[in-house]
Structure 1
């Protein structure tokens, strides 16, 4: 890097002080013995030499500063073939003059050393982010284009042009529903353009500059180890080799055991600067309804009833979205207008505990109907229960309180349900069209358990109903009428 230097060096200040003291003593001595010799005669005996510094390092001393011009010209001519597209100069150097009675200068040694150490340079426009020089370009136009292209990664060119006329945005019409507009695009850090002398090799094209801003700078950060993490996976997820990860963490080896919560150093590319975008939005939003549950002790647990159906509301919302490099980081509400109030949904929920033990008295399992076939021998085979047909409603009900121990298709029975009433009695319901319960459910007497049908081996829509006591088949007509 090329640096600016101070105009005077401490060492030469000390030397000047010594010289001035000698001169003062000599002048006093001369005055005492020559009775007023003019001080101008002493000045005529002084000669000026020039001390050369490059990057704060002493190069040599010469007695004619015009000799430096020849060195500069020679260095530029030598490099012109390599850097044909640039207007070359040389890096800044510091020339410190000093007046001496007996000047000490070695032009040849100083100039030869200057030739070997002096580098050519170009005047560049530098993008400065905060106090850091990030990228150098051959012209101000290139630097401005890079910044503009970087912004265009997150907003359109039309938006940037529109923002160049801020009065238009200020006096624009209020947003209508569904509309949005970007009101500001800026950088997260102070970005400025400065003039600097740099090596021609440091000058970037517009394309290179945009890529550099997109990539960012590699920074160290802390990573907290998670469950099932291992060193190879952590390295890979941060674009590091295992050896690179180990160098960042000197206490680790490739076979080290890591645990959840351990802290490791990793690297991550962070942007030099972020593009901040503010977007104003107007949109209609759904206001979801609330649900209120009311307990009812007269209804069995598991029974629910919708007393009032819920309806979503609507509101018109104006807000500002704040984004950093395209990601939303904050949202501010400007205005909110309710278009439709939501309607609360009210659910009545039963709390009455369903007893799993039956009363011992079985109810008729259908809604009306008649007995189309009784229990007994039929077509040379035992008919194990009664058949109920032609009900006024095809709902099938539990004959008593109990627990569902079987629910599903069972061959000739079709869709079948079996209830254990936990008092020695079991009831079976067959040929159902559909089932309303599952194994493990507790049901109450009269509760709907299915719909009458004609599944399995059946000649028509009916319910086949069986009763068992302590495992023995019973005539259902002893229990129901």
Structure 2
């Protein structure tokens, strides 16, 4: 641009001079503005020049709108985009599309999310409040659907809050992901002392965990059958992040146990019992409120009970005819005191190989003489059985025991406790089946027992 010749102003009027100078200044200003550029940097890294700040503002808005359209929430740019006067010689000017492409490669964004806080601990984040409320309801619905009955109420004892926060996109979960996280929670390791009659299968079923999980939690076990009462095993259980109590009203049937009535029968040997009438359980209909915590039943409150079928009593005939056993060689002592309920020899269509001595469950059973235990355990119709070898071809059998207190290979003295009277195996009531065998042949025990 060519400027006016200022030499020609000499001698002109002051007003005219002032107008010319103002015009020159305006021309210089316009020329200067037309040549100015702005440098765009992000975290100190130079991206390029733009012709004015409005280009940067337009690009920032486009960037935010593109993420908002994709994520459906408010967006916050993590890095600070700086705009400052630049030098025109530093490369070509960037257009809006070029600047947008550069920023998309380098910029990080945070999305506005809603954090679910349980007992003052942030546990999950989702895109909005509506989704957060749906997550909490989905957790409740999971426990409600797990158990039968009419829903009475649902209780959440934990403190639950929702809070808005800008987070990285990868921290925001879907509804299903957040629900599963809250349900599965953390893994908690506890101990369990093995009780009488328990095994790994029954413990897994009782605790609601899989058998394989129980095995994995107890690598110290040599096999699945190697546990005994009193052993301590480990249980790994999921601890949900949200506790939910569900109360439901249910109607179900329960058996009414029958009672046993005993009648005396003088035609039967004392200690002998015969079932004259089998018992039958009755049935009652129960309406109750059941309380479940995190899907596990914790209590029951009966509301109404209605008897549908009365139970039928079991009638048991108990013999009163007695025979006191007082004869024999005296080689063996009586293993237990009591009356003979069944003698050695023919019994109906069978041959009874021993002597049945009636007594109550739990009565100590003693070794008839000194010897070595050659068997101690379960043996078919004998139930729990102990066999003692006395040498010289003599053996004694102690059957239908309730408990066994000796083991194979153990030497026992005369009168030492071997176990207790029971009714295991094929039997109609508690008694000791005692046998004396000589070279494997059953003999009448009365021939060898002392007075």
Normalising by structure 2, we get a TM-score of: 0.41
Q: Give the TM-score normalised by the residue count of structure 1.
A: 0.39
